[in-house]
Amino acid sequence: MCQNAPRLAAPPPLPPREFGAVGRVHEGVTRDAARSDLETIAARLSAEYPESNTNISPVIQTANERFNGGEIRTVFLAMLGAVAFVLLIACANVANLQLSRSMQRAREIAVRVAMGATRWRIVRQLLVESVLIACVGGLFGLLIAMGGIRLFDAAVADVGKPYWIQFTLDPIVFAYLAAICVATGILFGLAQPSPLSRRTSLRCTRLPGTGHCCVHGRAARNRDERVCA
């Protein structure tokens, strides 16, 4: 007669214990100092309750690290990279349009140079126009971003987002937007080719179908003086 050996069912291992607390440190207290205080408390608990509090080590995280770290941080970085790539494409397209427009305005600028406009005045005009276009584009982009953030905040509200987390545009974003607009306007404004040299202005102001052209600068004044004399 066969008898089965008794079997002992071992209880499943308990999951690691974890205690969480939310607090605010005093002004001037560093993270290392706060971690040192928590390590002292953990050592005291381990000595008083060795069965349940052995090998307990504190971990300090900021609210940003707690809720924006790990996988969600990777998602946000991927979104940031995609937005930066789209912004780069938009800037390149606008720069291409600006360069094409400046080539079409070469004759106009050459006429202004031939009439005595200084180099700084021409460059200033190009810079003002470029920065103005960049700022107008940045304003429209800001309005679209504000609407998009509201839609994103409403979309993630139903997936367990804590109520104290709100997606908004802070002053850093406004400063970043202003810097990008001004820098883009100045960069592509200076990159526009302008006929500021004597040879280029003479070539650009040549009358179509004739061999005559406007006289540039000092030569025009000398000719007027000879006529008056």
What are the tens digits of pLDDT across the range 159-169? 767 777 778 88
Residues 183 and 130: beta-carbon distance below 8 Å = no
Mean pLDDT of the region 151-156: 82
At residue 31, the pLDDT reads 83
Boundaries of domain holding 45: 31-60
Asked if 104 and 174 sit in the same domain, the reply is yes
Number of domains in the chain: 2
Same domain assignment for residues 47 and 76: no
| 212 domain residue, yes or no | yes
Does residue 80 fall inside a structural domain? yes
Compute the C-alpha angle 36/38/40, nearest 5°.
70
Residue pair 37/60 in contact (Cβ under 8 Å)? The answer is: no
Tokens of 150: 């509201």
Q: Average pLDDT, stretch 6-33?
A: 71
Same domain, 99 and 51: no
Q: Are residues 55 and 157 in the same domain?
A: no
**Residues 53 and 150 grouped into a single domain:** no
Arithmetic mean of pLDDT over the chain: 74
123 burial (CB, 10 Å; 0-12 / 13-18 / 19+) is middle
Q: What pLDDT, on a 0 to 100 scale, did the predictor assign at position 196?
A: 52
Both 174 and 199 in one domain: the answer is yes
